[in-house]
Amino acid sequence: MNTALRTALTVAGLAVAAQAAASVTFYERDGFQGRSFTTQKQVGNFQRYGFNDRASSVAVTGERWEVCEDARFSGRCAILRPGNYPSLAAMGLNDQVSSARALARNARIDENRYAPAPVASADGDAKPKVTFYEGEGFSGRSFSTERKIGDFERFGFNDRASSVVVAGDRWEVCENPRFSGRCAVLRPGSYPSLAAMGLNDRVSSVRDVSRNARIDESRYAPAPVAQQDYRRRQNERLYEANVTSVRAVVGPPEQRCWVAQEQIPQEQSKANVPGAIAGALIGGILGHQVGNGRGNDLATVGGLVAGAAVGANVNRGAGQAAATQDVKRCESVPSQARPSEWDVTYSFRGQEHRVQMTTPPGATVTVNEQGEPRA
């Protein structure tokens, strides 16, 4: 066998081996939980494997994979680099994947086709990670980190985040550098809008929270929105369920403060003492001239008291500027942020259901036979 042929076979063998090493595993639930499905070859239709529209998380090994919402690699698609993706919600494909295929190592892919970076290498050890998006609903430019960031300005993402996906563990986000100002603790999940916690376009620092750290409930942000696929399944019968309550989720009340000037009350001890003495003398003289005998003495005493009172108030407030001081005043006002979601409660066949919606509902919610919402 000549050298050229041996080289060609070696290269072909390496290519085959590399292709065989490329695999992808889909999981039925977030965080690599539930039933799974693994493949090393392209799958044009997950329906054949009983896994259509079921994948919620995925682990990629060896090479990049393209996953698509429709069969035969059509519809919305995303390119996944090797690593772990604990939730497909950030790329809008939660419970929506219908086809997948490995990409050639030398294939050139436009950067905007890639999904957010994976949480970790494909060794199954998912690290805490947070991904911020410039637009609401996980749109626009993104920025991911696995470590604390004291100042987003260094990364060109200060006061830009409008939505966020948290994976692995809890993270604390703050409006000022070095974890100061208004802060909120985020549980793992998807937050399509930071407006509800008053941090839209305001995040300047972030850090992960220790797994065993005890956090007061008041410090948590509103619960993450569950990203569900509410599309009608084939031949599925639909019903109308009555809405029983709707609660708009907005941010907490905001405190507004201002500085006002107020007059300082004059103390009674600052009476005009010389005026009081002079008034008493004048009052006594006038009183002595009124009446005879004992009446004269009573009039004198009365004149002393009245004259002292009048004299003590001479020049009080007259010709003197009232003293003032700056006083800080605060009041709580309703948050001006628009609702990020609506907590909706509805009743179907005697059972109460709850769902989070990104738009306010009407009088009824469309559901299937199990009471699950359908669009």
Tokens 């090994």 identify what position?
A: 61
Average model confidence (pLDDT) across the chain: 75
HEC string for the chain: CCHHHHHHHHHHHHHHHHHHHCEEEEEEECCCEEEEEEECCCECCHHHHCCCCCCCEEEEECCCEEEEEEHHHEEEEEEECCEEECCCHHHCCCCCCCEEEECCCCCCCCHHHECCCCCCCCCCCCCCEEEEEEECCCEEEEEEECCCECCHHHHCCCCCCCEEEEECCCEEEEEEHHHEEEEEEECCEEECCCHHHCCCCCCCEEEECCCCCCCCHHHECCCCCCCCCCCCCCCCCCEEEEEEEEEEECCCCEEEEEEEEEECCCCHHHCCHHHHHHHHHHHHHHHHCCCCHHHHHHHHHHHHHHHHHHHHCCCCCCCCCCCEEEEEEEEEECCCCCCCEEEEEEEECCEEEEEEECCCCCCEEEECCCCCECC
Does residue 119 or residue 171 have the better pLDDT? 171
Does residue 221 or residue 258 have the better pLDDT? 221
Please give the pLDDT value at position 127: 60
Burial class (CB in 10 A: 0-12, 13-18, 19+), 3: exposed
pLDDT at 270 over 60: no
Which superfamily does 127-227 belong to?
Crystallins (2.60.20.10)
Summarize the confidence of residues 121-125 as an average pLDDT: 42
Please give the pLDDT value at position 124: 41
Strands, sheet with 205-208, edge to edge from the N-terminal-most edge strand = 180-186, 171-176, 205-208
Among the ranges given (88-92, 137-141, 256-260), the one the predictor scored with the smallest mean pLDDT: 256-260
- Chain-centroid distance of CA 310 in Å reads 66
pLDDT at 204 over 80: yes
CB atoms within 10 A of CB 189: 18
Summarize the confidence of residues 23-27 as an average pLDDT: 85
CATH architecture of 1-122: Sandwich (2.60)
Are the C-beta atoms of residues 368 and 348 closer than 8 Å to each other?
Answer: no
129 — pLDDT class (breaks 50, 70, 90)? confident
- Residue boundaries of the structural domains of the chain: 1-122, 127-227, 230-261+325-375, 271-315
Q: Give residue-wise pLDDT tens across range 95-105.
A: 999 999 999 88
Are the C-beta atoms of residues 122 and 82 closer than 8 Å to each other?
Answer: yes
Same fold, 1-122 and 127-227: yes
pLDDT at 120 over 60: no
Distances (CA, A) of 173 to 50, 289, 338: 40, 84, 20
pLDDT at 288 over 60: no
Q: Give residue-wise pLDDT tens across range 289-313.
A: 444 544 444 444 444 444 444 444 4
322 — pLDDT class (breaks 50, 70, 90)? low
Summarize the confidence of residues 106-133 as an average pLDDT: 73
Are the C-beta atoms of residues 78 and 93 closer than 8 Å to each other?
Answer: yes
Beta bridge partners of 241: 365
